[in-house]
Chain A
Amino acid sequence: MLKDTGHGRPWTFYALGGLFIAYLIFLYGPMAVIYVLSFQGENGGVTFPMTGFSLVWFEDVFKPGQMANVPDSFNRSMGLAATVSVLTTVIAVAAGLGFRRRFPGSGFVFYLAVASLVMPSLLVGFGIGLGFKVMGLRTNLFTSTLGAQMTWTLPFGLFAMFAVVNRFNRAWEEAATDLGANAWQRLRHVTLPILAPGIIGVAMGAFTLSYDEYARTTLTIGQKNTLPLEIYALISSASSPMLFAIGTLTTAVSFTLIGVTLTLVLRMQRRRTAATLRAG
Protein backbone atom coordinates (compact mmCIF):
# COMPACT_ATOMS: atom_id res chain seq x y z
CA MET A 1 0.00 0.00 0.00
CA LEU A 2 2.78 2.39 0.92
CA LYS A 3 5.03 3.42 -1.88
CA ASP A 4 8.59 2.34 -1.40
CA THR A 5 11.27 4.22 -3.24
CA GLY A 6 13.85 1.50 -3.64
CA HIS A 7 15.88 1.28 -0.45
CA GLY A 8 14.49 -0.63 2.50
CA ARG A 9 12.54 0.85 5.38
CA PRO A 10 14.38 1.58 8.65
CA TRP A 11 13.25 -0.34 11.74
CA THR A 12 11.62 2.81 13.09
CA PHE A 13 9.09 2.58 10.26
CA TYR A 14 7.85 -0.77 11.53
CA ALA A 15 7.94 0.26 15.18
CA LEU A 16 6.03 3.49 14.59
CA GLY A 17 3.73 1.82 12.07
CA GLY A 18 2.85 -0.75 14.73
CA LEU A 19 2.22 1.98 17.27
CA PHE A 20 0.06 3.84 14.77
CA ILE A 21 -2.06 0.77 14.10
CA ALA A 22 -2.37 0.16 17.85
CA TYR A 23 -3.52 3.75 18.25
CA LEU A 24 -6.15 3.35 15.54
CA ILE A 25 -7.45 0.18 17.22
CA PHE A 26 -7.59 2.05 20.52
CA LEU A 27 -9.40 4.90 18.79
CA TYR A 28 -11.96 2.75 17.04
CA GLY A 29 -12.41 0.06 19.73
CA PRO A 30 -15.05 1.93 21.72
CA MET A 31 -16.42 3.39 18.49
CA ALA A 32 -16.99 -0.18 17.29
CA VAL A 33 -18.89 -0.88 20.50
CA ILE A 34 -21.08 2.12 19.69
CA TYR A 35 -21.73 0.88 16.18
CA VAL A 36 -22.59 -2.65 17.31
CA LEU A 37 -24.78 -1.64 20.25
CA SER A 38 -26.76 0.80 18.13
CA PHE A 39 -28.35 -2.29 16.55
CA GLN A 40 -29.34 -3.59 19.99
CA GLY A 41 -32.59 -5.56 20.22
CA GLU A 42 -35.77 -3.80 21.26
CA ASN A 43 -35.56 -4.86 24.93
CA GLY A 44 -31.80 -4.46 25.26
CA GLY A 45 -29.87 -1.86 27.21
CA VAL A 46 -26.75 0.24 26.82
CA THR A 47 -24.40 -2.61 27.75
CA PHE A 48 -23.71 -6.09 26.48
CA PRO A 49 -25.13 -8.64 25.94
CA MET A 50 -27.07 -7.99 22.76
CA THR A 51 -30.64 -9.24 23.03
CA GLY A 52 -31.23 -9.30 19.33
CA PHE A 53 -30.94 -7.20 16.25
CA SER A 54 -33.19 -4.26 15.43
CA LEU A 55 -33.34 -0.84 13.90
CA VAL A 56 -35.75 0.62 16.50
CA TRP A 57 -33.07 2.85 18.00
CA PHE A 58 -32.47 4.47 14.65
CA GLU A 59 -36.20 5.02 14.28
CA ASP A 60 -36.22 6.59 17.75
CA VAL A 61 -33.60 9.11 16.68
CA PHE A 62 -35.96 10.55 14.08
CA LYS A 63 -38.97 10.66 16.40
CA PRO A 64 -39.46 13.49 18.86
CA GLY A 65 -39.68 11.58 22.13
CA GLN A 66 -40.97 12.43 25.58
CA MET A 67 -37.58 12.70 27.21
CA ALA A 68 -35.77 14.41 24.37
CA ASN A 69 -36.42 15.85 20.98
CA VAL A 70 -33.48 14.76 18.88
CA PRO A 71 -34.61 16.01 15.44
CA ASP A 72 -35.35 19.55 16.65
CA SER A 73 -32.18 19.86 18.70
CA PHE A 74 -30.22 18.46 15.78
CA ASN A 75 -31.64 21.15 13.51
CA ARG A 76 -30.75 23.81 16.05
CA SER A 77 -27.22 22.46 16.37
CA MET A 78 -26.78 22.41 12.61
CA GLY A 79 -28.08 25.96 12.23
CA LEU A 80 -25.83 27.22 14.99
CA ALA A 81 -22.78 25.30 13.74
CA ALA A 82 -23.29 26.65 10.21
CA THR A 83 -23.54 30.22 11.52
CA VAL A 84 -20.51 29.83 13.77
CA SER A 85 -18.57 28.26 10.92
CA VAL A 86 -19.29 31.08 8.44
CA LEU A 87 -18.60 33.87 10.96
CA THR A 88 -15.44 32.20 12.25
CA THR A 89 -14.09 31.64 8.76
CA VAL A 90 -14.63 35.24 7.62
CA ILE A 91 -13.30 36.81 10.82
CA ALA A 92 -10.39 34.42 11.39
CA VAL A 93 -9.21 34.55 7.77
CA ALA A 94 -9.23 38.35 7.85
CA ALA A 95 -7.34 38.34 11.16
CA GLY A 96 -4.88 35.73 9.90
CA LEU A 97 -4.08 37.96 6.93
CA GLY A 98 -3.78 40.98 9.20
CA PHE A 99 -1.29 39.20 11.46
CA ARG A 100 1.20 38.88 8.64
CA ARG A 101 2.51 42.31 9.59
CA ARG A 102 3.47 43.54 13.01
CA PHE A 103 1.07 46.22 14.12
CA PRO A 104 0.63 48.13 17.35
CA GLY A 105 -1.38 45.94 19.71
CA SER A 106 -0.65 42.67 17.88
CA GLY A 107 0.80 41.22 21.06
CA PHE A 108 -2.30 42.10 23.03
CA VAL A 109 -4.64 40.47 20.50
CA PHE A 110 -2.41 37.40 20.26
CA TYR A 111 -2.35 36.78 24.01
CA LEU A 112 -6.08 37.55 24.22
CA ALA A 113 -6.65 34.74 21.71
CA VAL A 114 -4.35 32.39 23.64
CA ALA A 115 -6.17 33.18 26.88
CA SER A 116 -9.55 32.65 25.27
CA LEU A 117 -8.41 29.31 23.89
CA VAL A 118 -7.06 27.92 27.15
CA MET A 119 -9.74 29.27 29.47
CA PRO A 120 -11.72 26.38 30.96
CA SER A 121 -14.85 26.26 28.80
CA LEU A 122 -17.46 26.23 31.53
CA LEU A 123 -16.00 29.45 32.94
CA VAL A 124 -16.50 31.29 29.65
CA GLY A 125 -20.12 30.22 29.64
CA PHE A 126 -20.42 31.20 33.29
CA GLY A 127 -19.01 34.68 32.61
CA ILE A 128 -21.27 35.32 29.63
CA GLY A 129 -24.34 33.93 31.41
CA LEU A 130 -23.56 36.16 34.39
CA GLY A 131 -23.09 39.16 32.10
CA PHE A 132 -26.48 38.58 30.48
CA LYS A 133 -28.06 38.26 33.92
CA VAL A 134 -26.47 41.50 35.13
CA MET A 135 -27.70 43.35 32.03
CA GLY A 136 -31.15 41.84 32.38
CA LEU A 137 -30.96 40.08 29.03
CA ARG A 138 -32.31 36.66 28.19
CA THR A 139 -29.80 34.06 27.05
CA ASN A 140 -30.58 32.79 23.59
CA LEU A 141 -29.17 30.39 21.01
CA PHE A 142 -28.12 33.04 18.51
CA THR A 143 -26.86 35.65 20.99
CA SER A 144 -25.20 34.26 24.10
CA THR A 145 -24.58 30.71 22.84
CA LEU A 146 -23.25 31.93 19.52
CA GLY A 147 -20.95 34.35 21.33
CA ALA A 148 -19.73 31.76 23.82
CA GLN A 149 -18.86 29.35 21.03
CA MET A 150 -17.06 32.05 19.07
CA THR A 151 -14.64 32.61 21.97
CA TRP A 152 -13.47 29.05 21.28
CA THR A 153 -13.75 28.76 17.48
CA LEU A 154 -12.15 32.14 16.72
CA PRO A 155 -8.80 31.51 18.48
CA PHE A 156 -8.81 28.04 16.96
CA GLY A 157 -9.43 29.54 13.51
CA LEU A 158 -6.74 32.17 14.05
CA PHE A 159 -4.13 29.58 15.03
CA ALA A 160 -5.07 27.38 12.09
CA MET A 161 -4.70 30.45 9.84
CA PHE A 162 -1.18 31.05 11.19
CA ALA A 163 -0.26 27.60 9.94
CA VAL A 164 -1.95 28.25 6.59
CA VAL A 165 -0.52 31.73 6.07
CA ASN A 166 3.02 30.66 7.01
CA ARG A 167 3.18 28.57 3.86
CA PHE A 168 1.99 31.43 1.68
CA ASN A 169 4.61 33.11 -0.42
CA ARG A 170 4.12 36.89 -0.48
CA ALA A 171 5.87 37.11 -3.84
CA TRP A 172 2.62 35.93 -5.45
CA GLU A 173 0.78 38.95 -4.09
CA GLU A 174 3.58 41.29 -5.12
CA ALA A 175 3.48 39.81 -8.61
CA ALA A 176 -0.26 40.48 -8.76
CA THR A 177 0.27 44.09 -7.70
CA ASP A 178 3.05 44.54 -10.24
CA LEU A 179 0.71 43.25 -12.92
CA GLY A 180 -1.77 45.98 -11.99
CA ALA A 181 -4.23 44.17 -9.72
CA ASN A 182 -5.94 46.32 -7.12
CA ALA A 183 -6.32 45.16 -3.51
CA TRP A 184 -9.68 43.46 -4.11
CA GLN A 185 -8.57 41.69 -7.29
CA ARG A 186 -5.42 40.54 -5.54
CA LEU A 187 -7.45 39.09 -2.68
CA ARG A 188 -10.15 37.57 -4.86
CA HIS A 189 -7.99 36.07 -7.62
CA VAL A 190 -4.67 35.36 -5.92
CA THR A 191 -4.66 35.20 -2.11
CA LEU A 192 -7.96 33.45 -1.39
CA PRO A 193 -7.70 30.76 -4.13
CA ILE A 194 -4.22 29.81 -2.95
CA LEU A 195 -5.35 29.66 0.68
CA ALA A 196 -8.64 27.89 -0.19
CA PRO A 197 -7.76 24.38 1.14
CA GLY A 198 -6.67 25.89 4.45
CA ILE A 199 -9.78 28.04 4.63
CA ILE A 200 -12.00 25.00 4.05
CA GLY A 201 -10.12 23.37 6.93
CA VAL A 202 -10.89 26.31 9.22
CA ALA A 203 -14.57 26.22 8.24
CA MET A 204 -14.86 22.48 8.88
CA GLY A 205 -12.97 22.74 12.16
CA ALA A 206 -15.19 25.54 13.42
CA PHE A 207 -18.30 23.61 12.40
CA THR A 208 -17.16 20.52 14.31
CA LEU A 209 -16.17 22.44 17.43
CA SER A 210 -19.54 24.19 17.51
CA TYR A 211 -21.57 21.07 16.74
CA ASP A 212 -19.94 19.16 19.64
CA GLU A 213 -19.68 22.00 22.09
CA TYR A 214 -21.13 21.31 25.50
CA ALA A 215 -19.37 23.16 28.33
CA ARG A 216 -19.59 26.68 26.89
CA THR A 217 -23.15 26.13 25.73
CA THR A 218 -24.78 24.76 28.84
CA LEU A 219 -24.79 28.02 30.83
CA THR A 220 -25.56 30.31 27.91
CA ILE A 221 -28.37 28.43 26.24
CA GLY A 222 -31.95 29.69 26.37
CA GLN A 223 -35.04 27.53 26.64
CA LYS A 224 -34.19 25.18 23.79
CA ASN A 225 -31.32 22.71 23.79
CA THR A 226 -28.67 21.91 21.23
CA LEU A 227 -27.99 18.26 20.42
CA PRO A 228 -25.07 17.73 22.86
CA LEU A 229 -27.16 19.19 25.68
CA GLU A 230 -30.07 16.97 24.72
CA ILE A 231 -27.76 13.94 24.72
CA TYR A 232 -26.44 14.93 28.13
CA ALA A 233 -29.99 15.20 29.46
CA LEU A 234 -30.75 11.76 28.04
CA ILE A 235 -27.73 10.23 29.79
CA SER A 236 -28.78 11.47 33.19
CA SER A 237 -32.46 10.58 32.73
CA ALA A 238 -32.90 7.60 30.45
CA SER A 239 -29.93 5.94 28.82
CA SER A 240 -30.90 3.90 25.80
CA PRO A 241 -29.05 2.54 22.78
CA MET A 242 -30.55 5.47 20.91
CA LEU A 243 -27.49 7.43 22.06
CA PHE A 244 -25.32 4.95 20.22
CA ALA A 245 -27.53 5.18 17.15
CA ILE A 246 -26.80 8.91 17.13
CA GLY A 247 -23.07 8.10 17.24
CA THR A 248 -23.34 5.63 14.38
CA LEU A 249 -25.29 8.09 12.26
CA THR A 250 -22.79 10.87 13.02
CA THR A 251 -19.90 8.70 11.88
CA ALA A 252 -21.70 7.64 8.71
CA VAL A 253 -22.48 11.25 7.85
CA SER A 254 -18.87 12.30 8.65
CA PHE A 255 -17.45 9.68 6.31
CA THR A 256 -19.77 10.86 3.54
CA LEU A 257 -18.94 14.53 4.11
CA ILE A 258 -15.20 13.85 4.23
CA GLY A 259 -15.39 11.76 1.09
CA VAL A 260 -17.15 14.56 -0.77
CA THR A 261 -14.77 17.26 0.53
CA LEU A 262 -11.70 15.18 -0.25
CA THR A 263 -12.91 14.59 -3.79
CA LEU A 264 -13.50 18.31 -4.24
CA VAL A 265 -10.08 19.27 -2.88
CA LEU A 266 -8.32 16.64 -5.00
CA ARG A 267 -10.17 17.82 -8.10
CA MET A 268 -9.25 21.42 -7.27
CA GLN A 269 -5.59 20.46 -6.94
CA ARG A 270 -5.61 18.46 -10.14
CA ARG A 271 -7.18 21.33 -12.05
CA ARG A 272 -4.61 23.71 -10.63
CA THR A 273 -1.72 21.43 -11.54
CA ALA A 274 -3.13 21.13 -15.05
CA ALA A 275 -3.47 24.91 -15.28
CA THR A 276 0.09 25.41 -14.05
CA LEU A 277 1.38 22.92 -16.60
CA ARG A 278 -0.52 24.68 -19.39
CA ALA A 279 0.74 28.06 -18.29
CA GLY A 280 4.28 26.87 -17.77
Chain B
Amino acid sequence: MSAAQETLGAAVPRPAREWPRIRLAPWVVSWLQVSPLALILVVLFAMPTLLFLVVSFFDYDRTGIYPAFIFDNYADLLNASTIRVYLSSLKFAFVVWAVTLFLGFNTAYFLVFHVRNRVIRTMLFLACAIPFWTSGIIRTIAWVPFLGRNGAFNQGLMGLGFTDKPLEFLLFSDFSVILTYVHLFTLLMIGPIANSLSKIDPALIEAARDAGASRWRTLVDVIIPLSKTGIALGSLLVFTQVMGDYFVVKTMSGGQSASIVSALSTEIQAMQYPPASANAMVLVVFTAAMVAGMMRIVDVRKELVK
Protein backbone atom coordinates (compact mmCIF):
# COMPACT_ATOMS: atom_id res chain seq x y z
CA MET B 1 0.00 0.00 0.00
CA SER B 2 2.78 2.39 0.81
CA ALA B 3 4.31 4.72 -1.78
CA ALA B 4 7.56 2.80 -1.74
CA GLN B 5 5.81 -0.41 -2.61
CA GLU B 6 3.95 1.20 -5.46
CA THR B 7 7.12 2.54 -7.03
CA LEU B 8 8.61 -0.88 -6.65
CA GLY B 9 5.54 -2.35 -8.32
CA ALA B 10 5.92 0.09 -11.22
CA ALA B 11 9.60 -0.63 -11.62
CA VAL B 12 9.16 -4.36 -11.98
CA PRO B 13 6.91 -5.09 -14.99
CA ARG B 14 4.03 -7.32 -14.01
CA PRO B 15 1.74 -9.32 -16.27
CA ALA B 16 -1.90 -8.34 -16.71
CA ARG B 17 -3.72 -5.89 -14.45
CA GLU B 18 -2.08 -4.14 -11.56
CA TRP B 19 -3.95 -4.32 -8.26
CA PRO B 20 -3.00 -2.40 -5.17
CA ARG B 21 -1.19 -4.79 -2.91
CA ILE B 22 -2.78 -5.00 0.49
CA ARG B 23 -0.85 -7.02 3.01
CA LEU B 24 -3.20 -8.61 5.51
CA ALA B 25 -2.24 -10.97 8.25
CA PRO B 26 -3.06 -14.54 7.14
CA TRP B 27 -5.62 -15.02 9.87
CA VAL B 28 -7.46 -11.88 8.76
CA VAL B 29 -7.67 -13.26 5.23
CA SER B 30 -9.05 -16.52 6.64
CA TRP B 31 -11.58 -14.60 8.66
CA LEU B 32 -12.77 -12.68 5.61
CA GLN B 33 -13.13 -15.92 3.67
CA VAL B 34 -15.01 -17.73 6.42
CA SER B 35 -17.16 -14.88 7.73
CA PRO B 36 -20.08 -15.14 5.24
CA LEU B 37 -20.56 -18.78 6.24
CA ALA B 38 -20.17 -18.03 9.93
CA LEU B 39 -22.61 -15.13 9.74
CA ILE B 40 -25.31 -17.15 7.96
CA LEU B 41 -25.00 -20.03 10.41
CA VAL B 42 -25.15 -17.73 13.43
CA VAL B 43 -28.21 -15.82 12.18
CA LEU B 44 -30.15 -18.71 10.68
CA PHE B 45 -29.09 -21.60 12.87
CA ALA B 46 -27.71 -20.51 16.25
CA MET B 47 -30.17 -17.69 16.90
CA PRO B 48 -33.34 -19.68 16.01
CA THR B 49 -32.07 -22.49 18.24
CA LEU B 50 -31.59 -20.06 21.11
CA LEU B 51 -35.06 -18.71 20.38
CA PHE B 52 -36.77 -22.04 20.91
CA LEU B 53 -34.64 -22.64 23.97
CA VAL B 54 -36.18 -19.46 25.39
CA VAL B 55 -39.71 -20.28 24.18
CA SER B 56 -39.50 -23.74 25.75
CA PHE B 57 -39.81 -22.07 29.17
CA PHE B 58 -42.84 -20.00 28.15
CA ASP B 59 -46.40 -20.54 29.27
CA TYR B 60 -49.24 -21.07 26.81
CA ASP B 61 -52.95 -21.65 26.52
CA ARG B 62 -55.40 -21.99 23.66
CA THR B 63 -55.18 -18.37 22.60
CA GLY B 64 -51.49 -17.59 22.76
CA ILE B 65 -48.07 -17.93 24.35
CA TYR B 66 -46.83 -15.90 27.29
CA PRO B 67 -43.28 -15.08 28.35
CA ALA B 68 -42.49 -16.91 31.58
CA PHE B 69 -39.86 -19.10 33.14
CA ILE B 70 -41.55 -22.38 33.95
CA PHE B 71 -40.42 -25.96 33.60
CA ASP B 72 -43.89 -27.38 32.98
CA ASN B 73 -43.22 -28.05 29.30
CA TYR B 74 -40.28 -30.23 30.23
CA ALA B 75 -42.10 -31.93 33.09
CA ASP B 76 -44.90 -32.84 30.67
CA LEU B 77 -42.38 -34.69 28.53
CA LEU B 78 -41.48 -37.10 31.31
CA ASN B 79 -43.96 -39.82 30.59
CA ALA B 80 -43.98 -43.36 29.34
CA SER B 81 -45.05 -42.53 25.80
CA THR B 82 -42.21 -40.04 25.21
CA ILE B 83 -39.69 -42.54 26.49
CA ARG B 84 -41.19 -45.24 24.30
CA VAL B 85 -40.90 -43.02 21.22
CA TYR B 86 -37.26 -42.23 22.04
CA LEU B 87 -36.45 -45.90 22.53
CA SER B 88 -38.14 -46.84 19.28
CA SER B 89 -36.25 -44.12 17.37
CA LEU B 90 -32.99 -45.26 18.98
CA LYS B 91 -33.68 -48.84 17.96
CA PHE B 92 -34.26 -47.79 14.36
CA ALA B 93 -31.19 -45.56 14.40
CA PHE B 94 -28.97 -48.33 15.74
CA VAL B 95 -30.13 -51.05 13.32
CA VAL B 96 -30.00 -48.71 10.32
CA TRP B 97 -26.55 -47.52 11.39
CA ALA B 98 -25.21 -51.08 11.59
CA VAL B 99 -26.68 -52.09 8.21
CA THR B 100 -25.63 -48.95 6.35
CA LEU B 101 -22.15 -49.13 7.86
CA PHE B 102 -21.70 -52.72 6.66
CA LEU B 103 -23.13 -52.00 3.20
CA GLY B 104 -21.48 -48.60 2.87
CA PHE B 105 -18.01 -49.74 3.95
CA ASN B 106 -17.97 -52.77 1.70
CA THR B 107 -19.33 -50.86 -1.28
CA ALA B 108 -16.79 -48.08 -0.80
CA TYR B 109 -14.00 -50.64 -0.33
CA PHE B 110 -14.99 -52.38 -3.54
CA LEU B 111 -15.13 -49.13 -5.51
CA VAL B 112 -11.83 -47.77 -4.20
CA PHE B 113 -9.61 -50.84 -3.99
CA HIS B 114 -11.04 -53.32 -6.47
CA VAL B 115 -12.17 -51.21 -9.39
CA ARG B 116 -8.94 -50.16 -11.01
CA ASN B 117 -10.27 -48.22 -13.97
CA ARG B 118 -11.04 -44.63 -13.00
CA VAL B 119 -13.82 -44.07 -15.52
CA ILE B 120 -15.61 -47.27 -14.52
CA ARG B 121 -15.21 -46.34 -10.87
CA THR B 122 -16.80 -42.94 -11.46
CA MET B 123 -19.65 -44.53 -13.39
CA LEU B 124 -20.32 -47.14 -10.69
CA PHE B 125 -20.24 -44.42 -8.07
CA LEU B 126 -22.75 -42.40 -10.07
CA ALA B 127 -24.93 -45.49 -10.38
CA CYS B 128 -25.14 -45.46 -6.58
CA ALA B 129 -25.87 -41.74 -6.53
CA ILE B 130 -28.53 -41.38 -9.24
CA PRO B 131 -31.53 -42.65 -7.23
CA PHE B 132 -30.61 -39.91 -4.75
CA TRP B 133 -31.78 -37.34 -7.29
CA THR B 134 -35.34 -38.60 -7.10
CA SER B 135 -37.30 -37.09 -4.25
CA GLY B 136 -37.00 -39.08 -1.02
CA ILE B 137 -40.77 -38.96 -0.71
CA ILE B 138 -41.28 -40.69 -4.04
CA ARG B 139 -38.54 -43.22 -3.26
CA THR B 140 -40.25 -44.00 0.03
CA ILE B 141 -43.69 -44.62 -1.39
CA ALA B 142 -42.18 -46.68 -4.22
CA TRP B 143 -41.71 -49.44 -1.64
CA VAL B 144 -45.47 -49.71 -1.20
CA PRO B 145 -46.23 -51.30 -4.59
CA PHE B 146 -43.00 -53.29 -4.25
CA LEU B 147 -43.64 -54.84 -0.84
CA GLY B 148 -47.45 -54.83 -0.67
CA ARG B 149 -49.67 -57.91 -0.67
CA ASN B 150 -49.99 -57.82 -4.44
CA GLY B 151 -46.61 -56.21 -4.80
CA ALA B 152 -43.78 -57.08 -7.14
CA PHE B 153 -41.80 -58.94 -4.47
CA ASN B 154 -44.65 -61.14 -3.25
CA GLN B 155 -45.74 -61.88 -6.81
CA GLY B 156 -42.19 -62.92 -7.60
CA LEU B 157 -41.94 -65.18 -4.53
CA MET B 158 -45.28 -66.82 -5.29
CA GLY B 159 -44.39 -67.16 -8.97
CA LEU B 160 -41.19 -68.98 -8.03
CA GLY B 161 -43.13 -71.18 -5.61
CA PHE B 162 -41.31 -70.12 -2.43
CA THR B 163 -44.58 -69.33 -0.70
CA ASP B 164 -48.25 -69.84 -1.54
CA LYS B 165 -49.67 -66.79 0.18
CA PRO B 166 -48.27 -63.24 0.29
CA LEU B 167 -45.93 -62.38 3.16
CA GLU B 168 -47.66 -59.89 5.42
CA PHE B 169 -44.71 -58.64 7.45
CA LEU B 170 -43.08 -56.97 4.45
CA LEU B 171 -45.09 -53.78 4.48
CA PHE B 172 -46.21 -51.48 7.29
CA SER B 173 -43.85 -52.98 9.83
CA ASP B 174 -40.51 -52.25 11.47
CA PHE B 175 -38.99 -54.25 8.65
CA SER B 176 -40.27 -51.91 5.95
CA VAL B 177 -39.23 -48.84 7.95
CA ILE B 178 -35.66 -50.11 8.27
CA LEU B 179 -35.54 -51.20 4.64
CA THR B 180 -36.62 -47.74 3.49
CA TYR B 181 -34.08 -46.00 5.72
CA VAL B 182 -31.29 -48.20 4.39
CA HIS B 183 -32.42 -47.48 0.86
CA LEU B 184 -32.46 -43.74 1.50
CA PHE B 185 -29.32 -43.29 3.58
CA THR B 186 -26.64 -45.82 2.54
CA LEU B 187 -25.19 -43.27 0.13
CA LEU B 188 -24.48 -40.95 3.08
CA MET B 189 -22.19 -43.70 4.39
CA ILE B 190 -20.57 -44.59 1.04
CA GLY B 191 -19.49 -41.02 0.24
CA PRO B 192 -17.38 -40.12 3.30
CA ILE B 193 -15.92 -43.65 3.64
CA ALA B 194 -14.92 -43.79 -0.04
CA ASN B 195 -13.28 -40.39 0.39
CA SER B 196 -11.25 -41.63 3.39
CA LEU B 197 -10.30 -44.88 1.71
CA SER B 198 -9.10 -43.19 -1.46
CA LYS B 199 -6.66 -41.11 0.60
CA ILE B 200 -4.88 -44.18 1.98
CA ASP B 201 -1.45 -44.61 0.43
CA PRO B 202 -1.44 -48.03 -1.35
CA ALA B 203 2.19 -48.42 -0.24
CA LEU B 204 0.98 -48.78 3.36
CA ILE B 205 -1.24 -51.71 2.44
CA GLU B 206 1.55 -53.30 0.46
CA ALA B 207 3.91 -52.82 3.39
CA ALA B 208 1.45 -54.59 5.69
CA ARG B 209 1.18 -57.49 3.22
CA ASP B 210 4.96 -57.70 2.82
CA ALA B 211 5.37 -57.78 6.58
CA GLY B 212 3.18 -60.88 6.59
CA ALA B 213 -0.20 -59.47 7.64
CA SER B 214 -3.20 -61.44 6.50
CA ARG B 215 -5.94 -59.76 4.51
CA TRP B 216 -8.04 -59.58 7.67
CA ARG B 217 -5.28 -58.08 9.83
CA THR B 218 -4.51 -55.51 7.12
CA LEU B 219 -8.16 -54.52 7.14
CA VAL B 220 -8.46 -54.30 10.91
CA ASP B 221 -5.06 -52.80 11.74
CA VAL B 222 -4.38 -50.56 8.74
CA ILE B 223 -7.41 -49.77 6.61
CA ILE B 224 -10.13 -49.31 9.24
CA PRO B 225 -8.02 -47.05 11.51
CA LEU B 226 -7.09 -44.92 8.50
CA SER B 227 -10.69 -44.58 7.36
CA LYS B 228 -12.21 -43.81 10.74
CA THR B 229 -12.91 -40.17 9.82
CA GLY B 230 -15.15 -41.27 6.95
CA ILE B 231 -16.80 -43.88 9.15
CA ALA B 232 -17.45 -41.29 11.86
CA LEU B 233 -18.81 -38.73 9.43
CA GLY B 234 -21.06 -41.24 7.68
CA SER B 235 -22.33 -42.58 11.01
CA LEU B 236 -23.08 -39.06 12.14
CA LEU B 237 -25.12 -38.30 9.03
CA VAL B 238 -27.07 -41.56 9.06
CA PHE B 239 -27.75 -41.42 12.78
CA THR B 240 -29.04 -37.86 12.76
CA GLN B 241 -31.11 -38.39 9.62
CA VAL B 242 -32.93 -41.28 11.26
CA MET B 243 -33.44 -39.39 14.52
CA GLY B 244 -34.80 -36.39 12.64
CA ASP B 245 -37.08 -38.28 10.29
CA TYR B 246 -40.81 -38.34 10.45
CA PHE B 247 -41.98 -39.03 6.94
CA VAL B 248 -40.65 -42.60 6.61
CA VAL B 249 -41.93 -43.78 9.97
CA LYS B 250 -45.31 -42.26 9.31
CA THR B 251 -45.65 -43.78 5.84
CA MET B 252 -43.97 -47.15 6.21
CA SER B 253 -45.00 -48.26 9.68
CA GLY B 254 -48.69 -47.92 8.85
CA GLY B 255 -49.20 -45.86 12.00
CA GLN B 256 -47.76 -48.52 14.31
CA SER B 257 -44.62 -46.62 15.23
CA ALA B 258 -44.18 -42.96 16.02
CA SER B 259 -41.09 -40.83 15.75
CA ILE B 260 -39.88 -38.02 17.96
CA VAL B 261 -40.34 -35.45 15.26
CA SER B 262 -43.83 -36.56 14.26
CA ALA B 263 -45.06 -35.82 17.78
CA LEU B 264 -43.37 -32.47 17.50
CA SER B 265 -44.90 -31.58 14.15
CA THR B 266 -48.35 -32.32 15.54
CA GLU B 267 -47.70 -29.80 18.32
CA ILE B 268 -46.42 -27.23 15.84
CA GLN B 269 -49.53 -27.61 13.69
CA ALA B 270 -51.64 -27.05 16.80
CA MET B 271 -49.57 -23.86 17.41
CA GLN B 272 -48.46 -25.21 20.81
CA TYR B 273 -45.04 -23.65 20.47
CA PRO B 274 -43.77 -23.92 24.07
CA PRO B 275 -44.22 -27.71 24.41
CA ALA B 276 -42.96 -28.16 20.84
CA SER B 277 -39.88 -26.12 21.79
CA ALA B 278 -39.27 -28.19 24.91
CA ASN B 279 -39.59 -31.35 22.85
CA ALA B 280 -37.18 -29.91 20.30
CA MET B 281 -34.67 -28.93 22.99
CA VAL B 282 -34.63 -32.45 24.41
CA LEU B 283 -34.01 -33.86 20.94
CA VAL B 284 -31.25 -31.30 20.30
CA VAL B 285 -29.48 -32.10 23.57
CA PHE B 286 -29.86 -35.81 22.91
CA THR B 287 -28.46 -35.56 19.37
CA ALA B 288 -25.65 -33.27 20.55
CA ALA B 289 -24.66 -35.77 23.24
CA MET B 290 -24.51 -38.60 20.71
CA VAL B 291 -22.48 -36.51 18.28
CA ALA B 292 -20.11 -35.32 21.02
CA GLY B 293 -19.60 -38.94 22.04
CA MET B 294 -18.71 -39.85 18.48
CA MET B 295 -16.36 -36.89 18.21
CA ARG B 296 -14.54 -38.05 21.32
CA ILE B 297 -13.78 -41.37 19.68
CA VAL B 298 -12.63 -39.76 16.43
CA ASP B 299 -11.26 -36.24 16.31
CA VAL B 300 -13.03 -35.42 13.07
CA ARG B 301 -11.72 -31.90 13.09
CA LYS B 302 -8.07 -32.82 13.31
CA GLU B 303 -8.51 -35.32 10.52
CA LEU B 304 -10.48 -33.06 8.21
CA VAL B 305 -8.78 -29.71 8.59
CA LYS B 306 -5.11 -30.23 8.07
Contacts and interface: CB of A to CB of B under 8 A. Distances in A.
B41 A116 contact: yes
B40 A5 contact: no
B225 interface: no
Interface stretch (B69-77, B127-135, B157-165): B127-135
A43 B55 CA distance: 50
Given A109-B37, A131-B51, A24 B128 contact: yes
B87 interface: no
A165 B276 CA distance: 40
B36 interface: yes
B45 A151 contact: yes
Contacts of A182: 14, 19, 21
Contacts of A100: 30
Given A24-B127, A118-B291, A122-B261, A31 B134 contact: yes
A244 interface: yes
Interface in A1-36: 1-3, 5, 9-10, 12-13, 16-17, 19-20, 23-24, 26-31, 33-34
Contacts of B51: 127, 130-131, 134
Given A115-B288, A119-B284, A122-B265, A34 B142 contact: yes
A113 B291 contact: no
A92 B37 contact: yes
B138 A246 contact: yes
Interface stretch (B78-86, B104-112, B200-208): B104-112
Interface string B39-50: 011111111110
Contact of A162 (B34, B183, B283, B304): B304
Given A48-B155, A127-B48, A130-B51, A31 B131 contact: yes
Contacts of A47: 144-145, 148, 150-151
A2 B170 CA distance: 36
B220 interface: no
Taking residues whose C-beta sits less than 8 angstroms from the other chain, chain B's interface range is 35 or more
Nearest to B295: A114
B252 to A, nearest CB: 12
A228 B135 contact: yes
B34 A214 contact: no
Contacts of A48: 145, 148, 150-152, 155
A202 interface: no
B103 interface: yes
A125 to B, nearest CB: 9
B30 A106 contact: yes
B256 interface: no
B44 A151 contact: yes
A118 B290 CA distance: 10
B5 interface: no
A98 B32 CA distance: 8
A51 interface: no
Interface in A70-118: 91-92, 94-95, 97-118
B40 A147 contact: yes
Nearest to A183: B19
Given A29-B152, A120-B243, 5 more contacts: A13-B110, A34-B139, A91-B36, A101-B26, A127-B52
15 contacts: A3-B117, A30-B143, A92-B37, A95-B33, A103-B31, A118-B287, A119-B49, A120-B240, A120-B260, A120-B284, A122-B264, A155-B41, A227-B135, A228-B137, A262-B126
